[in-house]
């Protein structure tokens, strides 16, 4: 979903900042009131995934989105690193605020 489309919603349940590397994030959104509520990856106007090296800069780009919550989600690679079986739900989600530090 393009960022301009996301900004049109009156309520977004949650903005999810996916931590991919120590300093690389992408963004998805869970939209309230959708019949089949599912996360949608957010893109810029050219269709490229919205990504950045700084969560605050991403929050600045998303400042017009009316989101109830902001969270950082990270999937752990620990099991894979130690040679254990990969778990189906091995992620951590931490709530963060938008302190408008931009």
What is the pTM (predicted TM-score) of this model?
A: 0.85
Q: Identify the weakest region by mean pLDDT among 13-17, 38-42, 57-61, 82-86.
A: 82-86
Q: What is the DSSP string of 56-84?
A: HHHHHHTTTS-EEEEEEEEE--HHHHTTP
CA distance 53 to 64: 20
Ramachandran category for residue 100: left, alpha or beta (phi over 0 → left; psi -120 to 50 → alpha)? left
**Which tens digits make up the pLDDT trace of 22-75?**
889 999 999 976 566 789 999 999 999 999 999 999 999 999 999 999 999 998
Angstrom distance (rounded) from CA 41 to CA 76:
20
């Amino acid at each position: 979903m393009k960022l301009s489309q996301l900004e049109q919603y009156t309520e977004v349940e949650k903005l999810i900042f996916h931590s991919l590397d120590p300093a690389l994030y992408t963004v998805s959104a869970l939209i309230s009131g959708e019949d089949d509520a599912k996360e949608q990856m957010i893109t810029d106007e050219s269709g490229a995934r919205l990504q950045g090296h700084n969560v605050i800069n991403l929050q600045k780009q998303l400042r017009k989105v009316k989101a109830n919550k902001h969270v950082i989600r990270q999937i752990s690679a620990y099991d894979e690193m130690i040679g254990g079986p990969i778990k189906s739900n091995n992620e951590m989600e931490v709530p963060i605020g938008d302190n408008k530090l931009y």
